[in-house]
């Protein structure tokens, strides 16, 4: 009998030692300690023993059971520690390795100019309008007083999508949409920044895609003086205090009178330098008083109200402000160029 017990014990210890996983160990537990296990089988032998031997036998089986349980528990802890160590080794991070550098983007210089203009004009009570880049001929030309066959259509070489649809050539299209939308209601005070497109050959000063910001104010007693004051305020904010603004007569079909607007050169303070080609002035935008016919076409009574409008090229402003000499830089996505602007942001 004792031999049988010794054998169960040594089999159990051997099985426990060689169990490599918690599942295997559990199998061992069931095999030896389960209801139908080997130790229970030893217990059932007790009933055939003489009465006086029963207590001692029972005690020895219990001791055996206790030892097997203890060894099982010890092995369980050992296996769990091994698993933990393996997991740690697997997840080990070499904190001395150089990290991956995260490239952080910078604001595009044109967006910086756009943000600046928006902040400036919102501060003066303007709202910001947005509109489609794929535009109807009607808004881009017709309502802007440029009917079919008007020679002014040649001023802007256009990408047509079909005879009535085009890529807007100027943000003035948005001016027309907003005038139409207002249905004669005053006042109107808005800017519209956005992309525009022209069939130009790209070179240092031309790009088939560029950005403009339109400005439009319509109300009672709006005059050219209001336009001049507004643009002077803008020039000072964009190019530094002390800028002067001058108007030169010009022609746009949607304004009367029309003006080209020059700013006193921020580089030489108007004395004359290579940037302003010695003149002391730099042309920055086109503007004028909204043509009475444009107001009438859009349902305004041009006897009772008037308005001014302007359209400024953002590339032009950015080029002057940051000393950029080639407009194509804005569209080449060269990181060396773009990264230069993080310090201005």
- What are 231-238's contacts with CB under 8 Å, separation 24+? 231/261, 231/285, 231/287, 231/310, 233/120, 233/124, 234/117, 234/120, 234/312, 235/263, 235/284, 237/116, 237/120, 238/113, 238/116, 238/117, 238/120, 238/317, 238/321
Q: How near is the Cβ of 279 to ligand DAH at its closest, in Å? A: 21
Residue with tokens 């002057």: 320
Q: How near is the Cβ of 281 to ligand DAH at its closest, in Å? A: 18
Of 38 and 207, nearer to ligand DAH (C-beta) is 207
Q: Which residues bind ligand DAH (CB under 6 A)?
A: 170, 172, 175, 214, 252, 255, 286-288, 309-311
Of 102 and 225, nearer to ligand DAH (C-beta) is 225
Q: How near is the Cβ of 258 to ligand DAH at its closest, in Å? A: 6
Q: How near is the Cβ of 148 to ligand DAH at its closest, in Å? A: 18
Beta bridge partners of 193: 213
CA distance 250 to 262: 12
Q: Any idea of the CA torsion for 48, 49, 52, 53, to the nearest 10 degrees?
A: -140
Of 57 and 210, nearer to ligand DAH (C-beta) is 210
* Spatial contact of 179 and 309, defined as CB atoms under 8 Å apart: no
Of 192 and 238, nearer to ligand DAH (C-beta) is 192
Distance of CA 260 to the CA centre of its chain: 36
Q: How near is the Cβ of 259 to ligand DAH at its closest, in Å? A: 8
CA distance 136 to 299: 19
Tokens describing residue 228: 């001049």
Of the candidates 229, 194, 224, 201, the one whose C-alpha atom is nearest the C-alpha of residue 311 is 194
CA distance 270 to 282: 9
CA distance 252 to 153: 11
Instruction: Give the distance between the most distant pair of CA atoms in the chain.
Output: 131
* Spatial contact of 37 and 11, defined as CB atoms under 8 Å apart: no
Of 5 and 224, nearer to ligand DAH (C-beta) is 224
Q: How near is the Cβ of 172 to ligand DAH at its closest, in Å? A: 4
Q: How near is the Cβ of 238 to ligand DAH at its closest, in Å? A: 17
Q: How near is the Cβ of 194 to ligand DAH at its closest, in Å? A: 12
Comparing every residue's Cβ against ligand DAH, the nearest one is 311
Phi, psi of 341 (to 5 degrees): -95, 0
Q: How near is the Cβ of 248 to ligand DAH at its closest, in Å? A: 13
């Amino acid at each position: 009998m004792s031999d049988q017990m010794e054998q169960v014990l040594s089999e159990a210890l051997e099985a426990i030692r060689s169990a490599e996983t918690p599942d295997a160990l559990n199998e061992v537990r069931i095999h030896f300690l389960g209801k139908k296990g080997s130790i229970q089988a030893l217990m059932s032998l007790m009933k055939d023993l003489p009465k006086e031997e029963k207590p001692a036998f029972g005690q020895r089986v219990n001791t055996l059971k206790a030892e097997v349980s203890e060894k099982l528990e010890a092995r369980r802890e050992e296996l769990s520690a091994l698993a933990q160590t393996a997991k740690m080794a697997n997840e080990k991070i070499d904190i001395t390795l150089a990290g991956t550098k995260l490239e952080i983007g910078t604001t595009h210089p044109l967006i910086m100019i756009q943000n600046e203009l928006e902040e400036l004009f919102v501060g003066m009570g303007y709202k910001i309008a947005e509109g489609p880049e794929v535009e109807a001929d009607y808004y881009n030309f017709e309502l802007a007083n440029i009917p079919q066959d008007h020679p002014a259509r040649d001023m802007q070489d256009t990408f047509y999508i079909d005879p009535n649809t085009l890529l807007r050539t100027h943000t003035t299209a948005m001016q027309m949409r907003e005038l139409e939308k207002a249905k004669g209601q005053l006042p109107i005070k808005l800017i519209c920044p956005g992309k525009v497109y022209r069939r130009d050959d790209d070179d240092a000063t031309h790009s088939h895609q560029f950005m403009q910001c339109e400005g439009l104010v319509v109300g009672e007693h709006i005059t050219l003086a209001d336009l001049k004051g507004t643009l002077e305020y803008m020039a000072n904010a964009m190019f530094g205090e002390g800028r002067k603004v001058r108007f030169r007569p010009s022609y746009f079909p949607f304004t009367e009178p029309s003006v080209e607007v020059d700013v006193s050169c921020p580089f030489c303070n108007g004395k004359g330098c290579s940037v302003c080609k010695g003149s002391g002035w730099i042309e920055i935008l086109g503007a004028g008083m909204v043509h009475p016919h444009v107001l009438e076409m859009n349902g305004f009574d041009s006897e009772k109200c008037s308005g001014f409008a302007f359209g400024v090229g953002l590339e032009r402003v950015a080029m002057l402000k940051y000393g950029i000499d080639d407009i194509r830089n804005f569209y080449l996505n060269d990181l060396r160029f773009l990264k230069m602007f993080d310090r201005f942001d």
